[in-house]
Amino acid sequence: MSAYSELVKRLIQELHAIDVRLAKLEEVILARNPQPIAISEPELLAMPDHLRKTFMVLSKIGKATAFEVSLRTGRARACECNYLNQLVYMGFLEKRSEPRPGAVRKVAVFSIARRDMGRVQEKSIPQNALSTLPNSEQ
């Protein structure tokens, strides 16, 4: 009977450990919470096909590295990294460096840009800027 009670105790401990791991997984999944697409339909349709595919995959995942996106698109990681950086430059995505478990250094993590960030805009030189320069530089 002693072996039976030890087995039951061990099974209960295993079930408890599984329950704790499951709770942690639920927290991670709920924290990811993918954001809805933050661009209009005309903007999405005006986007080149290769960038649109990358953008749509990332919008479904929510937050990912270039490697994770490349697994879903079937394209090379270097290509996806290039496309993701183009989307960052265009203002559709955000890029952050985050530590990853098991990684020696931080990796770039991409996510959909928030609405309040706006788009990257070209900066024009104000009309009165030239008048403020010294005479030797005009």
pLDDT tens column, 21-31: 988 888 777 67
How many structural domains does the chain have? 1
Residue 105's pLDDT band (cuts 50, 70, 90): confident
- 137: in domain: no
3-state secondary structure (DSSP) of residue 63: strand
Percentage of residues of the chain with pLDDT beyond 90: 33
- 51: in domain: yes
3-state secondary structure (DSSP) of residue 59: helix
Mean pLDDT for 67-84 is: 95
Q: How far apart are CA 34 and CA 28, in angstroms?
A: 12
- 125: in domain: no
- 16: in domain: no
Q: pTM of the prediction?
A: 0.57
Can you give the pLDDT at residue 118?
Answer: 45
Q: What is the CATH number of the domain that holds 87?
A: 1.10.10.10
- 59: in domain: yes
- 92: in domain: yes
Amino acid occupying residue 135:
N
Range of the domain at 56: 37-117
